[in-house]
Amino acid sequence: MSDQPDARARFLRLHDALRTRICLLDYPPGTRLSEETLAAEFGTSRTPLRRVLACLEDEGLVISQHGVGTIVTDVDPGEMARTYDLRRELAGLVGRLSPVAITDEIVAMGQDFLARGEALLTNPEVRALARLNMEYFHFGTSLTMNEALRDTSERLYYRTARIWLKATSHLDLVEETAIFVAELRDSLQALQARDAQAAADVRRAHISLCIARVNAARR
């Protein structure tokens, strides 16, 4: 029985590591993920690794091809547009479905995110901004106790996370950083007012604006 929590923890660590690499484009679309190489890197056997790869395939991030191996998928523009639309609506539900009570600790976390975002304004860096956005997403979903909403939102977030990164060559990084910091600032004001719905509405609005900017950049 004691091995089960350890196995679950290993699975989550490996899954998080590979998912993050895919979403930060360390593994760009078309990359073949070698089971042998990954097993050696993470010091694990192929069996748990295959479970993780199967989970990533279920999430739409990789595909297993017979005779080829496991390949990182590309982003389908049409599907991603629909996924973004659903993400936007789910973001607003965080403030309505079993929202947590906004505590001083949560407000302090919001202040920390804003400070980290403002630090990026002096030296914008795309990877650091993407990582901070990823962390902030998880912070946002922690504001609801609805597990199904959290899980669905997370799944959809990681399906769309690569879109913004792929579009950055056509976007103004300074402007993107400033927009994200504005979101952090507005969200913090909502949290300080102990208004979970207002914080969720800020996130929803910024998802909508992000869709518009990415679509404009791709034209």
CATH number for the domain that contains residue 192: 1.20.120.530
Instruction: Considering only residues 163 and 183, tell me which one the structure prediction assigns the higher pLDDT.
Output: 183
Q: For 143-169, what is the mean pLDDT?
A: 94
- Which of 72, 99, 131 terminates a domain? The answer is 72
Which residue segment(s) compose the domain that 149 sits in? 77-218
Distance CA 121, CA 173 (A): 10
pLDDT of residue 76: 83
24-48 as b/e, with b when 16 or more CB fall inside 10 Å? bbebeeebebeeeebbeebebeeeb
Distance CA 24, CA 18 (A): 10
pLDDT, tens digit (0-9, with 9 covering 90-100), for 17-55: 999 999 999 999 999 999 999 999 999 999 999 999 999
pLDDT of residue 217: 81
- In the chain, % of residues over pLDDT 70: 98
Do 48 and 107 belong to one domain?
A: no
- Which of 46, 72, 98 terminates a domain? The answer is 72
Distance CA 25, CA 102 (A): 34
pLDDT, tens digit (0-9, with 9 covering 90-100), for 66-120: 888 999 999 887 888 899 999 999 999 999 999 999 999 999 999 999 999 999 9
Do 158 and 60 belong to one domain?
A: no
pLDDT of residue 134: 97
Residue 10: partners with Cβ closer than 8 Å, 6 or more residues away: 44, 48
Residue 37's domain is classified under what CATH number? 1.10.10.10
